[in-house]
Structure 1
Amino acid sequence: MKKTTKQLGALLVLGTAAIALAQGTTFLTIGSGSTTGVYFPVATGMAKMVNDAGAGVRANARSTGGSVFNVNAIATGELDAAVAQNDVVYYAYKGTGLQAFQGKANTKLRTMAVLYPEVLHVVARKDSGIRSIADLKGKRVVIGDLGSGTELTAKQVLESYGLGFDDLGQALRVSPAQGITLMQDKRADALFYTVGVGASAISQIAQTVDVTMVPVSGNQASSLIKKYPFYVRYNIPAKSYKGVGATVPSVAVQATLVTSTAVSEEAVYKAMKAIFDDEGALKAIHPSLATNFSYAKAVKGIPAPLHAGAVKFFKEKGLNVK
């Protein structure tokens, strides 16, 4: 029977997949976040580095709802690895902190590397009159996607100022892209976003709306850090965004690359070599990595134990890890 070109093409694809499987290729799906954030370009860049290495591991990056979704998807096997906030990973590993994790500790979660600080941006329209976190009371505030790391951060920061979501005029649970539109259309007064400095979503708002960056500082920041030691103080540099003429004090958590014990030591080690062996190439992926990543920082403040493949890699780099 004569086969059509389409049938031959299908057989070729199947044949390629079969060869890859026969050669022991491991396929990794890496969860990221919104396409307007930093997770997505970072995960996409890392997946490309894995694929370019040709070391028997293939990877692809997926846009997702963010940290909470990512760690849950690792637990179910929907994702093999992901970028997530270190506080969210810790809560998932311990089975505490968030309702989604209560009593459901995922002890199979493993850290590959800490990547860069994720800074809380609280952006307000200048015409809203919001100058402090306390001023958010009664206002329409974008608090992040349902189940995102940003939503968790917003809850904890508001709490440190004696506020809850019920004190807001509206707590808008939408994606960063939707949040931009709401800010531009004057349907939102302010927006929380935990993301690396320079995120396109924040830049886009600042380019199209007169905004002010709301500080998180003083006693409230101190109490937040004391209660939730994942946070560190972090100053958003002046001129990071249009209209932000002075340094803005805030807080940050850490973006972390995580995986599961379900992924083999060999696969994780090969992925680590592909992504992290050339520090310069890694830093070229995004400014957040360029200004913050180092091997020493990569193993500080890890929210779950290092994966065996990561331990092997970092030991080769001369670090004392286990």
Structure 2
Amino acid sequence: MRVNRNVWIFCFFLNICLLISPVFVQAFDLRLGTGPPGSFSYFSGRVLCRMMNNQLADLSCRQVAAADGHDAYNLTNLQGGSLDLVLVDSRSLFDAINKTGKFAFLDIDYSNLRGLAPVYETPVVMVVRNDAGIQSLTDLQGKRINAGTPGSIQYQEMNRIMNAKEWTRDDFSLVGDLSPSQSNDDTKAFCFGTMQAMIYIGIHPDFSLRRLLKTCNGTLLNMDDNDIESLVHADPALWRIELPVDLYPTQTEKVVTFGTRSLLIASEDLDSETVYRIMDLLDKNGKYLKTAHRSLSLFSQEIARESALGLPLHSGAARYIAER
């Protein structure tokens, strides 16, 4: 009798503890794939995970950084279930879905991927010298330009612009193939006046670009051009991007250009309610994201809807947008 009574008392108090203790609620782990440490993708993933961990009590976001070639690595791991969310560039996502580019010979079905929202943009800007007499894209003809190292992103984007304008190398007095990664050969040539124009790809505002514009007599070229507009309309992975006047001290007017977007995507297996709450978190924390970095202010329901690239929106994201 005494033993049974003690057991009953122990069970009674154990039930009371279970009812009043909050620690028995286990957090749902989310694995977010990003680029390598030092990349803006890595920084953005850290901001997103911190926001989820601070504001969604039953979610635990863990960032998983990939090495170089991270888009293919992350998309494949998302497709296979090793990751729950991924930050991916729109160019890589488009190629993966359509089996083009570096995904042309990769026999993997990415049909289970779903879109959530855009996070930031990566503009392609044309930097020109103020003393070169370049006021528009048409003025580039006959000038000295750096096309970038063959195979590099700079090289690909310069070729994209030249193809859109139906230009060849013969339309310029000099076309260099200088790399930005080898002791900044391209910026040195620009500062010395050897090159009068060059492609710069990065996240804005960019400290290195600000220094280049200030110390080397440079400015950003407005590419508000019919041929560039046609290029953007013909390529689902590209968007028109406007850089505001106050982005750099040397800029006196807004700059129209183009570029890609970094998109937050998930597997269709991620439950709808979790995605809905993540969308709500992004929507309500615009000020926090912009404080973390000015470029992290892209989210809106309209932009999220148009950024899918033919990829279906996740059911949780579609429901959130439909209700707003």
Scaled by the length of structure 2, the TM-score of the pair is 0.68
Q: How many aligned positions are there?
A: 287
The match for 2:34 is 31
The match for 1:42 is 44
Quick check: 2:276–2:317 contact (8 Å CA) kept in 1? Answer: yes
Quick check: 2:129–2:218 contact (8 Å CA) kept in 1? Answer: yes
3-state DSSP of counterpart to 1:186: helix
Q: Deviations over 1:285-310 (max 9, x none)?
A: 332344x4323322223121112343
Quick check: 2:190–2:216 contact (8 Å CA) kept in 1? Answer: no
Counterpart Cα distance in 2 of 1:158 and 1:94: 24
Counterpart Cα distance in 2 of 1:236 and 1:203: 13
Counterpart Cα distance in 2 of 1:31 and 1:281: 20
Aligned Cα root-mean-square deviation (Å): 4.1
1:160 is aligned to 2:167: no
The match for 2:76 is 75
Counterpart Cα distance in 1 of 2:151 and 2:46: 21
Q: What is the aligned counterpart of 2:293 among 281, 286, 296?
A: 286
Q: Deviations over 1:163-185 (max 9, x none)?
A: 479998444565xxx38933443
Counterpart Cα distance in 1 of 2:221 and 2:306: 28
Larger of the two Rg values belongs to structure = 2
Q: What is the aligned counterpart of 2:243 among 236, 258, 281?
A: 236
3-state DSSP of counterpart to 1:205: helix
> For 1:241-320, what aligned pairs fall within 5 Å after superposition?
241-261=248-268, 263-265=270-272, 268-269=275-276, 271-290=278-297, 292-303=298-309, 304-315=311-322, 318-319=323-324
Counterpart Cα distance in 1 of 2:64 and 2:206: 18
Q: Which runs of 5+ in 2 are unaligned?
A: 1-22
The match for 2:7 is none
Counterpart Cα distance in 2 of 1:130 and 1:180: 27
Quick check: 2:115–2:308 contact (8 Å CA) kept in 1? Answer: yes
1:206 is aligned to 2:213: yes
- Aligned letter for 2:146? R
Quote how far apart the aligned CAs of 1:228 are. 1.9
Scaled by the length of structure 1, the TM-score of the pair is 0.68
Counterpart Cα distance in 2 of 1:61 and 1:211: 38
Counterpart Cα distance in 2 of 1:204 and 1:137: 23
Q: Which runs of 5+ in 1 are unaligned?
A: 1-19
Q: What is the aligned counterpart of 2:117 among 102, 113, 116?
A: 113
Q: What is the aligned counterpart of 1:216 among 212, 223, 241?
A: 223
Quote how far apart the aligned CAs of 1:221 are. 1.5
3-state DSSP of counterpart to 1:70: helix
Quote how far apart the aligned CAs of 1:273 are. 4.7
Counterpart Cα distance in 2 of 1:246 and 1:89: 32
Counterpart Cα distance in 1 of 2:149 and 2:249: 22
- Aligned letter for 1:238? V
The match for 1:182 is 185
Quick check: 2:66–2:74 contact (8 Å CA) kept in 1? Answer: no
